[in-house]
Amino acid sequence: MAESHKKRIAIFGSTGSIGTQALKVIEAYPDLFEVEILTAQTNDKLLIEQALKFSPNAVVIGDEKKYEGVKSALLSKDIKVFTGNTALEEVADFDTYDMMIAAIVGFAGLKPTLKAVEKGKAIALANKETLVVAGDIVMQLAVENRVPIIPVDSEHSAIFQCLVGETRNKIEKIILTASGGPFLGKKPNFLVNVKRHHALQHPNWNMGAKITVDSATLMNKGLEMIEAKWLFNLTPDQIEVVIHPQSIVHSMVQFEDGSIKAQMGLPDMKLPIQYALTFPHRIKNDSPRAEFRKIPNLTFEQPDIKTFRNLSLAMQALEKGGNLPCILNAANEIAVWAFLNNRIGFLDITAVVEKAMQTITYIEKPNLADYFESDGEARNFAASLVKM
Ligand code: NAD
Ligand code: MG
């Protein structure tokens, strides 16, 4: 701990939905936290604003064209500015922080997170793609370095919270809840015409564009099944998905005596972020409280995996393992990007992912280099399908 006994936080992806909400939590507890590192890919304006407000030791701007501008804006504050391919890993290698909030979106979050784990830093993990791609390697490295990986994803935070005090007890299964997204109940004849702006309207959560599309296709829940497998050391048959449109029950754990614990609350990502920052403690906040007298219906139903085929593809990847989740993830990142740029339709996302899973060579026991190679191959293949 620092001399001040404040927890020194490094936010990787500070300009995103999770990053900005993490800064709100940090701002509310100036005696507990200080900001050590902030990173952004393109949003130089917000990064500068955040840096001037929170005075970190260092920032990273991914887009090299914006480096000079950021550097000159932060000159008077003595804040180090980094850019370039290895910048994220370089700052993840610093000694001067206690916890990384991994809030970069996609595969890009893997390398800096691995570096932080190698350094023995605690991780508050929002970036689920890191575990989808290389969960075996990340979790093994975390065990070797005695690094806590505390989930920020609301479902996994819920499960993590349900497991407090249960270390001796076996999990029979977990029940991951899914809101169902904006197209719950819709069929392919509707989905075929869906456009970017429809998919970006999530009923309960306000999130970055990629995860919002993933929530609309149910790929997000598939990625979360794989994330849960690694976080909680589960087999595929222990992971169940149930649609719960109200997003009040954030997920559940069923134990061997049939008893089920659920973690509940209003949908607000600041709550799992705060819990990850303060674990094992809970600290008071003034966020709105769930009022059950005003929420008369909590409903649960089966996911429609025949319509939302991304979820069934992710289940296949979960079942088969190896580099298949990595291939699924890479193809999905490209396909979602293409959809957001109006190059392909909503249902084409599934077609791209499925073709990549059928085409890229399967590796049963990949090493880290294999994951990087499979990611690259799947990206190139998916890009050729969407004519990038
Ligand atoms: P976002 O798009 O709002 O923000 C992404 C952040 O990552 C930005 O700061 C951006 O600058 C940075 N970034 C993007 N591409 C990058 C690259 N190639 N290299 C380095 N940095 C890059 O995304 P988000 O919604 O905040 O999600 C972040 C992660 O958290 C995702 O993995 C998502 O699945 C997960 N998550 C988000 C939510 C949510 O409510 N937003 C909930 C659960 C999990
Ligand atoms: Mg989630």
pLDDT at 1 over 60: no
CA of residue 340 to ligand 1 center, whole Å: 15
Q: How many CB atoms lie within 10 A of CB 245?
A: 19
For the chain, give the mean pLDDT.
Answer: 97
| pLDDT of the residue at 3 | 54
Q: Quick check: is 283 in a domain?
A: no
Percent of the chain with pLDDT over 90: 96
Question: How large is the average pLDDT for residues 105-112?
Answer: 98
Tell me the mean pLDDT in the region 304-319: 98
How high is the pLDDT of residue 202?
82
Nearest atom in ligand 1 to 40's CA:
11
Q: Give yes or no: residues 199 and 96 share one domain.
A: no
Q: How far is the CA of 298 from the centre of ligand 1 (A)?
A: 29
Do 23 and 99 share a domain, yes or no?
Answer: yes
| Interatomic CA distance for residues 351 and 335, integer angstroms | 9
Atom of ligand 1 lying closest to residue 223 CA: 34
- The predicted pLDDT at position 383 comes to 98
Same domain, 120 and 178: no
- In-domain check, residue 209: yes
Identify whether residues 162 and 254 lie together within a single domain: yes
Task: Quick: pLDDT tens for 162-183.
Answer: 999 999 999 999 999 999 999 9
Ligand 1 nearest-atom number relative to CA 127: 32
- And the tokens for 258? 């049939």
Query: Is 225 part of a structural domain of the chain?
Result: yes
The stretch 311-333 carries a mean pLDDT of: 98
Number of domains in the chain: 3
Q: Region 263-271: what's the mean pLDDT?
A: 97
Whether residue 146 is found in the same domain as residue 108: yes
Torsion angle of C-alpha atoms 336, 102, 107, 319, degrees rounded to 10? -90
Distance from residue 297's CA to the centre of ligand 1 (Å): 32
In-domain check, residue 128: yes
Same structural domain, 30 and 137: yes
Are residue 193 and residue 341 in the same domain, yes or no? no
* Ligand 1 pocket, CB under 6 A: 13-19, 40-41, 43, 62, 103-105, 108, 126-129, 153, 205, 207-208, 210-211, 269
What's the pLDDT score for residue 205? 81
* Ligand in closest contact with the CA of 46: 1
Contact 202, 216 (CB under 8 A): yes
Residue 278 lies in a domain: no
Which residues are close to ligand 2, an ion, with C-beta < 5 A? 153-155
Residue 279 inside a domain? The answer is no
What average pLDDT does the segment 203-222 reach?
94
The percentage of the chain sitting over the pLDDT mark of 70, rounded to a whole number, equals 99
Mean pLDDT of 58-62: 98
Each residue of 123-153: pLDDT tens digit? 999 999 999 999 999 999 999 999 999 999 9
pLDDT at 4 (0 to 100)? 61
Quick one: 141 and 179 in the same domain?
Answer: no
Identify which ligand lies nearest to the alpha carbon of 38: 1
Where does the pLDDT of residue 2 fall: very low under 50, low under 70, confident under 90, or very high at 90 and above?
very low
* CATH code at position 370: 1.10.1740.10
Checking DSSP bridges between strand 99-102 and strand 122-125, what pairing results, if any?
parallel
Please indicate, yes or no, whether residues 74 and 109 belong to a single structural domain of this protein: yes
Say how many Å lie between the CA of residue 18 and the centre of ligand 2: 12
Same domain, 69 and 147: yes
Task: Categorize the per-residue pLDDT at 203 as very low, low, confident or very high, splitting at 50, 70 and 90.
Answer: confident
Q: Could you tell me if 352 and 259 lie in one domain? A: no
Q: Give the global pTM.
A: 0.98
For residue 206, the model assigns a pLDDT of 85
Q: What is the DSSP code string of 268-333?
A: -THHHHHHHHHTT------PPPP-GGG------B---TTTSHHHHHHHHHHHH-TTHHHHHHHHHH
CATH number for the domain that contains residue 56: 3.40.50.720
Question: In the structure, what pLDDT confidence band is assigned to residue 376 with cuts at 50, 70 and 90?
Answer: very high
Candidate of 44, 61, 111, 207 to mutate for ligand 1, largest count of ligand atoms within 8 Å of Cβ: 207
Whether 296 maps to a domain, the answer reads yes
CA distance 12 to 165: 30
Q: In what order do the strands lie in the sheet with 239-243?
A: 239-243, 171-178, 249-255, 260-264
Average pLDDT over residues 91-120: 98
Domain finish residue from 96, 117, 151: 151
Q: Which residues form the domain of 124?
A: 3-151
Looking at the structure, do residues 191 and 339 belong to the same domain, yes or no?
Answer: no
- CA of 204 from ligand 1 middle (Å) equals 18
Indicate if the pLDDT at residue 221 is higher than 50: yes
Other Cβ atoms closer than 10 A to 252: 22
Question: Of 151, 182, 215, which marks where a domain is finished?
Answer: 151
Residues 11 and 8: their CA atoms lie apart, in Å, by 10
Domain end residue (candidates: 115, 130, 151):
151
80 lies in some domain = yes
Mean pLDDT over 360-374 rounds to 98
